[in-house]
Structure 1
Amino acid sequence: MKKINLKIILVLIAIVNGFSFSQSFTASMNNSTVSQYKQFQVSFTFSGNNINGVNNFKSPAFTNFMIISGPNQSTNMQIINGVTSASITYLYYLQPRSIGKFLIGRASVDYHGQTFRTKPLSITVVKGVPKSNRQANRTQSPSKISRQNIAKNLLIRATADRTRTYLGQQVIVTYKLYTRLNIASQMSVSKLPSYQGFWAEVINVSNNITFTTEMYKGKQFRVGILKMVALFPSQTGTLSVTPFEINVPVQVRIRRRGSNNIFNNFFNNPFFSNYRTINYDAKSNTIKIKVLPLPSVNVPKSFKGAVGKYSMSATLNKNRTTTNSPVDLKIVLSGTGNIALLSKPEVSLPSSF
């Protein structure tokens, strides 16, 4: 009987603790060839079964590039059948300073006393056209349309579900586009927000914006979500979330004036209206968040910094079995908060297993 129980012990241990992922630190780009005035992305990702010990990230020098934004930090974590896999990514938006072939050097991080380094990346920068010239070649912006008028009808709003929180407590920040204008083509990111003093995790939203209708300051706008992020304060005090900046090509109608052309009335018909595309730089507001220290009394000994509401459930794939047959034990942790700070649950098995 004891021999049979020993086999069941081995099966259960394999289910709960039997897998681990070796650590890796890799670098990648969204394009290996870019034009001189175009932005591109470089990301450095550390992967493993535990990322809590990752620290002291050091980026390459980026000597031949301008840093538009970065490092923008995001994390990802999965727990499947008790097996944990996680990653932390440091993302940069860069723009080349000149044309040629360049090498982006190694980045490094420390993990439990060991230093990990990425491999260098090679990139080719080809000749491009400055943004101002591209806009001038497409069309001249009409002088009658001011940036102030566009700003009244198109904006980005950043909101937080709470502006007063505790150290480590989750704050959800949402960026919405409000517009009463037609967007002519795809928007582009000019500068990502900075989350200094926070652990940040990007919440996935659809790349295709779904617009709804909202009233804002007495006007009706079409509104769509651009970006959502979960922030976890790592220090106390008043912290700032810097603006999110995007370039929005808007389409405006230009009326013909000051001409005696007999065809004016015909071409002023809305069907034959003259339209122009204006590239407008939209910028969200800054958010201030006050972070309070955690209570210092009546702190449980098991508390390790994970602030939030969590629940844990455990299920077996069968309630009756025979000797030498494996039993699957599934443990699920769920809730709101920085789940990466939670330790793997300890399983107490009967002595007969």
Structure 2
Amino acid sequence: MMRCFRLILLLLPVACAFGDELQFTAEVDRTTVGLGERFVLTVKVSGSGMGSVPGPQLPVLDDFDQLGSSSSQSTNISFVNGRVSREQTISFIYYLAAMRLGELTIGPCKLNYKGSIYQTQAITINVVKGSQTTRPQQRQNPSSPFVTQPHGRVQDEVALGATADRTTVYQGEQVTVSYTFYTRLQIADLRMSDVPAFSGFWAEGLYEAKELEYHTQRFRGKQYNAALIKRVALFPTRSGKLKIGVMKLGGSVVRRGGFFFNTTEPFEVSSSPIIVNVRPLPDSGRPGSFCGGVGRFALSASLDRDSSIGGQPLNLTVEVSGTGNIQLIGQPKVPSLSGVKILSPGTKDRIIRTSGKVKGTRKFIFPLLPQADGRYYVPGIEMGFFSPGEKGYYTLATPRLEFIASGAGKGVREDGNRTGVKVLGSDIIHIKPSQTKLVDAGLGTIPWWGWLFYPAGAVVLCFGIVLGRHRRKLEQDRGYARRMRSNRLVKKRLAQAAKVLAQNKETEFYAALDRAVLGYVGDRFNIETFGMTGDELRYELGKKQVPEDIVESLLELIQNCDAARFSPGMTKHSAQETFKRARRVLERL
């Protein structure tokens, strides 16, 4: 007899979904039921990259009474060879009851997905007199920490808690938030139906559960089996009262059924929002070299070599290391050097998550271009930081560095007082004409087409003057130079982001897109955007009279990129949609 087993019938697929084969299945919780007794038909659609899936088409169910329906969705994320694989499962659940005795058939279910038709096989149900759920109770395993028969409502036996290690912090100070699932029942399946929003925070993931590891813990006056779901480090980017969003979990619990089988019952739980009171950093004692760092840091600087030959560039690396909001630290101010052009720096980060804290290093790499020969001294570089523990600022400085430049191609710096006159010769050579009579070469001897050179020469002269002024402005006005190159560079950076996106490297894509957006804003308005907080960028763009709606769209885009990079799964938009939004925002700028 098949009455004691669940029947799972798989689709014989007739088409493929993107990349992976789409799985379309149908199952019932039992194949032998009593007349009028409820049973469950579950139709599942599984695959990767499915997107929106329509509901299945049910067969004619004249012999069954439809008591209700529901649906659920789950996503399984796995890492294989460094690549993220996401498999999505959507379950359509139908509660049925047989209306006559005998062998009844549930016909094939059909699914029309992107022009392809999927179909399951038929299911046979044996309907008998009397209820089939009245069975001797199975003894509960005394060593199991779970029960399969709740005493009351399921919602009273499961819960989701959110806790923060502190709720009053300074701007930029770490807040650690933990999401814990509590249950007194055996869980059949669990999924995250809604991710929390961290608006106003930079988020850095500390822990993400791959499987549930339970321990006993009291919660709201009751003893539960508790499992940590997620732990995240949050760094507020602005002051005021900030809300940490709600997480929602859905799933089903195991209820005792017949002698050989159990049934499941769905549930949904959500955490409570957390309000964090963020105090602004004090104005008193703030050093001019403060760059946004909050925590305990060390500072160092170095040159990649001590000499430059033939104008070869050197790299000045300023490194910040320690514990705190390492990726929110802005670039330091490097004193100008006469005879050396200092270019905008690149940044390189290394993040370490240990013992619930975010540590790491941030390097600012400044290219130095010697313009003249000589010995150069790079003064000590200062950076100011804020210590939440000491509730005050502190300043660190690097030692002085030096290097020698030779063959820079623009003369020797020490000879700046020399004149530019050189004596080439002292003899006067007389020119002797070979003709006894000189012919008067008047204007009348110039052919008609020769007159065209006069206006052409004037045009070339004007063009040369304009080009010369343009080149001098490029050399002397850094803001003008950055603005002129902004369109060319952003096209190149967006092309690189599109290339990475085509390779399905989402983390690298969001990093490339973030560089493209911040780089264009910095070049367009001559501001140092990398390392700026959202409030600082809003303030700088406000001074440039950028419309407020464009600023908000830009900040939302940057936050979406940061969420995708530092908190995978927290972004509200797909990579393709984010790329399109970025193009629209940059076009409006």
TM-score, with structure 2 as normaliser: 0.30
| Richer in helix (by share) | 2
TM-score, with structure 1 as normaliser: 0.48
Q: Which has the higher contact order (CA 8 A, sep 6+)?
A: 1
